[in-house]
Amino acid sequence: MHIHTVFFWLWKTASPEQIRQFEQGLDLLTRDPNVLERQIGKPAATSRAVIDSSYDYGVVLTFASLASHDAYQAGQPHQVFLESCASLWSKVQVYDIKNDA
């Protein structure tokens, strides 16, 4: 199993329309047939020294294998998302987890 976690920091100047565009892009992106499970959300209202809540949106996607993740990365939905939404974020951070359990 492969778990792909992505955090996005949008430009502070993003308009409500641009935010909707980003949210719609995430929704379409995460419906790729290679995605087994998906979670999309904003930071939770938790507060501890070890928690980074500075991001605007987080996405957690589960894939059956690294190969299915790689197919998703190369697939049209991912490419369209990058083309249409990359200008909307100032920073993106990715964490991938290999889960052999």
What is the residue-averaged pLDDT of the chain?
95
Q: Which CATH class is domain 2-98?
A: alpha beta
Domains in the chain: boundaries: 2-98
Tell me which residue has tokens 């909307």.
88
Q: How confident is the model at residue 100 (pLDDT cuts 50, 70, 90)?
A: confident
Summarize pLDDT for 73-89 with one digit per residue, the tens: 999 999 999 999 999 99
Residue 12 contacts residue 32 (beta carbons within 8 Å): no
For the CA atoms of the chain, what is the radius of gyration? 14
What would the mean pLDDT of 60-64 be, rounded to a whole number?
97
List, for residues 5-38, the tens digit of each pLDDT value.
Answer: 999 999 999 999 999 999 999 999 998 999 999 9
